[in-house]
Structure 1
Amino acid sequence: MSRACTFDGCTVGETGVCALEHDPATCKHHVAAGDKAIGSADEVESESDRAEPTDDPGAPVLEKPAGAASFPSSRTLGPDFVSSMMGSRYVTVVGILGDPESGKTACLASLYLLVSNAQLEGWSFADSRSLIGFDEIARGAREWNEGEPPEQMTVHTEMADDRRPGFLHLRLLRQADGRRVDFALPDLPGEWTTELVCSARADRFDFLKSAEVIWVVVDGRALMDRERRQGVISRLGQLAGRIKSIFDGEIPRMMIVVTHRDHGELSESIETRIAAELAKRDVVARICQIAPFSECGDVRAGFGLSELMEATVEQLRCEVDFWPSSAPEEGSRSYIAFRRDR
């Protein structure tokens, strides 16, 4: 039986001659070309699976299945993703530096916990592209043992790529004026800062050139300790010098973020010594004291974080007289020389 005839032994499909000597067009056993019941079930299946020929040799073999677009990754974001985001909206990129165990990740975890519980004074949550990333760094702070806090609120930061920073995105709504602010906050290992100070390895800090402000996180307990205080202050000066070497001109605004405010408040003399050390490198920085987590009842957890976020987005603008009045001078070209000395 051929594919063109259902009569057993007929080869009309190959030879064109009917085994019953009938006209193939009128034979009842003849199978028309458009008939679907050709041959056995296996042959029908093989015909349906066979791809239709195409005139384009570069065309895809299979068509792309229709499906909904997948959601972007919610973990830490790469520099390329942040760059594309900056192309569509204004993003406040923050550089966060600090030695290991200084409290960088604790700041981010405490900020996330405050925002998620609507307890960040003056701010409310608007959006985030990295909620899982925030959740991972804050997971340790939520796992208490029978009401007792864990020994370590956050885990040590480790990077999948030792050369590219990972960013956490957070969009906040400022209740004072309704402004929505997008923050790109890097979660970097403290070893990066250590290598920057000790060996001047700055290739991983190119993103600082896009930063609007730089946080230098310092362990407040070390500044309160007389034996370690001078070493920490000297190291701050060295780090400020390394940061200046990354930029050709003026550096972004710098803020010294002192953690562990629950262990005590910095005295005015310590702040003066820090300012004097930074002045040796022609750097001016604002000092902010915070307590991401608190071990005493006098200072609540998350102390100073709302003020830190407010200081991060504030714009320091000097008012300039649009057209200062001056006595005309004969022969001078005042219009062309306007603001040339500024």
Structure 2
Amino acid sequence: MSPALPYLRGLRKSDLVVLAEVSNLQDFEDYKKTELEAALDDHLSTNRASLSSEQKLADYYRRLSQTSRSSPIKREPKTEPVMSGDDGRRPSRSRRTIKPKEEVEATDESDSSASKQSTPASRTPARRRSLHFPSLPPSPAVITDAIDRQTTKARQSMSEAWDASGLTERSDALRSCLSSVRTIELITLAMELCGLLSQIVPMRYLTTFPAVSTVGTPEYAVKVPDVFILLEASFWGPFSLWLSTSIFLPSVLAYFCNLSLKISQQGSSHAYGTRRTTSSAAAKAAEVGNFDPLVFNVSKALISYLVYTSNCTFWNMYRQMTVTTVSGAVPGGLPGLMTGAAIGTLGSLYEAILRR
């Protein structure tokens, strides 16, 4: 420890940091105030020759020089006998020669004291290594900022992964595909067909998966549809009846009784023959299509009601059992058929209102 260390202890840590930056002290950011004082004192006393010209370090070196130039320990004067005559002049001469010796002794003692004081300073790195602890965060705000940065990075990476997957574009495409009356009608027909096939197509046993005791699952019998039913009339009778009453006959009526097509043709006949009007008329005709969805759903409801309530066999083309099988196989029976047709009718009216 040098004599100027109390001066460093009286400074604040910010002032010590400034002195460390001026003196080019390495790796002092993680030091505490006491460690920084000891390291800075060791560094400044060791590099005194190269750093004494710095203006900000003048106070430190001034205190260090004042301490090193302190007066040596006074010695007791030697008692010498008093002489008379010429012998009395010799002690004065001896006193004149003694003063330089005392100064030499004083400087020797000061150098020895400086060397003794520099000895513990040279040992400070070992103490500094022993006092070195892992750095702790200076404040909770630093921890909060670090958490915010990590959260932002995680959110950004998740957003980039979501954009790269393309799920947004696919969901938008699926949404636009399902947002139409024709899609609703297709879903209704698919549900009716699945119910009918589950009733008229038998399932044949294929194999059995054994039970797994470790998982706790029982044995499971695997069954597959019997495709040989396609060669029998028990399949084609109910299937053709449902196809005629739910798709074929309503489609024929919707094609020939297309009310929306008539209205679009009347609107285009009143328009003048400019390029813009003809293109808009063609676009409206393309939107209308060849089949009127309103007529399709209304005719489907009427045909289903007339056939399945009165057990119509189409002039003995179908058996009574076939009509009963179809009406019972469709999900919900006859009310299910009427409900699907009503939903399609309401969707057609709503779409026509929005198109106006």
Q: TM-score, normalised by structure 2?
A: 0.22
Larger Cα Rg: Structure 1 or Structure 2? 2
Q: Which has the higher contact order (CA 8 A, sep 6+)?
A: 1
Whichever structure has more helix as a proportion of its residues is: 2
Whichever structure has more strand as a proportion of its residues is: 1
